[in-house]
Chain A
Amino acid sequence: MEHVLGLVALACGLIIGLGAIGACIGIGLMGGKYLEAAARQPELMNTLQTKMFLLAGLIDAAFLIGVGIAMLFAFASPFVLH
């Protein structure tokens, strides 16, 4: 049982860590492009900002689903039989 709990803890760490890499790189790239576009055409800043927030939510989606699953494993683990 300790074996299973130890592996579950490792799994949670991997889920959150690897997901964070993807999400952060994605947001960084997108934010950089937005800043470039805003510098080139400042009049588009507001419309692009709306779309940027929308895209931020989409990029974060898989990561946050992973965080939800990892939290579920950490606190209400389905692998442990009570």
Chain B
Amino acid sequence: MATEAVETAIHAAPTPSEYIVHHLTHFNTLGEKQSVIVDWNVFNLDTIFYSILLGVIGCLLLWNAARKATSGVPGRFQAAVEVLVEMVADQAKGLIHSPDSRKLVAPLALTVFVWIFLMNAMDFLPLDVIPGIWAHIYGNLGHDEHHAFMRVVPTADLNGTLGLSIGVLLVCLFYNIKIKGIGGWAHELVCAPFGTSKNPIFALVLGVINLAMQLIEFLAKTVSHGMRLFGNMFAGELLFMLIALMGAAWTGWNATSILLWGGQVLAGSVWAIFHILIVLLQAFIFMMLTLVYIGQAHESH
């Protein structure tokens, strides 16, 4: 009974730190914040749900554009999609030198760009809209409203972005084996970048060093690919949370609250406008690096 009263008191007026920690917690299978950094039994259900939902929406949009496409004078939507597809096709042509591969890789790059753009764009929704609605639904389902966590930006979750970059890694490995053959690729793994030698002892030493360099290169490319997107989106989302905190500090019609509210509107507008650039840029960078890494799988030394 006493702890219930204390809990109600805490949640009636959360401190800024609690507000942010509450908004940073995922809706996962644990029901609370993860305590260990790596825990394979935990699934972030909100990341899974929103990434699948936005993927389906992206596919439906593009499919609709293709279905309604005419070869006469295009409408605005068709023209916009054509600009996008042409941009991606140009970049793919410059980076992937095999027309056969481009049949799969160019649509892959387009999907990556559109999907990541949609996922990043979830950051533009006001911070408390969807978590607030979810808290209501959660409360009506009979659970404690204050334990209703939801994060709506799948790319602000390290699991989401590393999943995407591991997918790109798998495509690269597939193309390495397809273009060079298993034997050819294995040869490249132990002979590049330092070469090999006729002396068997030197060849063995160089082979170990080459293999280590190649493995580190794959690992570093994948991790940096995923973490770049995560860092940008997480920092952006956290800055929105801090700006929302300025507005949440309302204590009545006094000077501090009004100034903070005005500051929130101003800072929120400026940061949202800048964030539009970041969202587009990060989706573009992820797509370009996807093409670059798959193109590297086509090159031989």
Q: Is the CB of B234 within 8 A of A71?
A: yes
Interface size class, chain B: 20 to 34
Chain A hits for B227, CB < 8 A:
61, 65, 68
Inter-subunit contact B235/A68 (CB<8 Å) = yes
A68 cross-chain contacts in B, Cβ below 8 A: 227, 230-231, 234-235
Given contacts A75-B24, A76-B33, contact A64 B284 (CB under 8 A): no
User: Secondary structure of the A side of the interface?
Assistant: helix
The CA of A29 and the CA of B231, in the complex, are separated in Å by: 23
Of residues B24, B224, B285, which shows the largest number of chain A Cβ atoms within 10 Å of its Cβ? B285
Residues of chain B with a CB closer than 8 A to A56's CB? 281
- The count of A-to-B residue pairs whose CB atoms sit within 8 angstroms is 48
Contact A57 B37 (CB under 8 A): no
Smallest Cβ-Cβ distance to B232: which chain A residue: A64
Q: A54-B288, A61-B224, A65-B227 are in contact. Are A75 and B232 (CB under 8 A)?
A: no
Closest to B156 in A: A68
Q: Which residues of A contact B281 (CB under 8 A)?
A: 53, 56-57
Whether B235 lies near A64 (C-beta < 8 A) is yes
Q: How far is the CA of A61 from the CA of B285 in the complex (A)?
A: 10
Given A71-B235, A75-B17: A57 in contact with B228 (beta carbons within 8 A): yes
Q: Is there contact, CB below 8 Å, between A57 and B234?
A: no
B129 contacts the other chain (Cβ, under 8 Å)?
no
Rounded to whole angstroms, the CA-CA distance of A66 and B230 in the bound complex is 11
Per-residue A-contact encoding for B20-58, CB less than 8 Å = 1, 0 else: 110010000000010001000000000000000000000
**A58 contacts the other chain (Cβ, under 8 Å)?**
yes
Selected from B17, B20, B230, B284, the residue in CB contact (under 8 A) with A53 is B284
- In this assembly, does A78 line the interface, its C-beta being within 8 Å of a C-beta of chain B? yes
Chain B residues with CB under 8 A of A38? none
Interface string of B98-109 (1 = CB under 8 A from A): 000000000000
Determine if A67 is an interface residue (Cβ-Cβ < 8 Å): yes
CB of B238 within 8 Å of the partner chain = yes
Cα distance, A60 to B238, chains bound together (Å): 17
B-chain residues with CB within 8 Å of residue A71 when the two chains form the complex: 234-235, 238
Known contacts A54-B288, A75-B238, A76-B33: does B21 contact A64 (CB below 8 Å)?
no
Check A57 against B24 for contact (C-beta < 8 Å).
no
Most buried by B among A60, A67, A68, A76: A68
With A53-B281, A53-B284, A78-B37 known as contacts, the answer to whether A61 contacts B24 (CB < 8 A) is no
Whether B21 and A65, one on each chain, are in contact in the complex, defined by CB atoms closer than 8 angstroms, is no
A32–B238 alpha-carbon span in the complex (Å): 31
On whether A67 and B235 interact (CB within 8 A), knowing A61-B228, A75-B17, A75-B20, the answer reads: yes
Contacts of B235 in A (CB 8 A): 64, 67-68, 71
**B residues near A65, Cβ cutoff 8 Å:** 227-228, 230-231
CA distance A72 to B224 in the complex (A): 18
Contacts from B to A (Cβ < 8 Å): 17, 20-21, 24, 33, 37, 224, 227-228, 230-232, 234-235, 238, 281-282, 284-285, 288
**A/B interface sample: 22 pairs, CB < 8 A:** A53-B281, A53-B284, A57-B282, A58-B228, A60-B232, A61-B228, A64-B228, A64-B235, A65-B230, A65-B231, A67-B231, A67-B235, A68-B231, A68-B234, A68-B235, A71-B234, A71-B238, A75-B17, A75-B24, A75-B238, A76-B24, A78-B37
Top 5 A-B pairs, shortest CB-CB distance:
A64-B231, A65-B231, A57-B285, A68-B231, A61-B228
| Further contacts, 9 of them, CB under 8 A, given A54-B285, A71-B235, A75-B21 | A53-B284, A57-B284, A57-B285, A60-B232, A61-B228, A68-B227, A68-B231, A68-B234, A69-B231
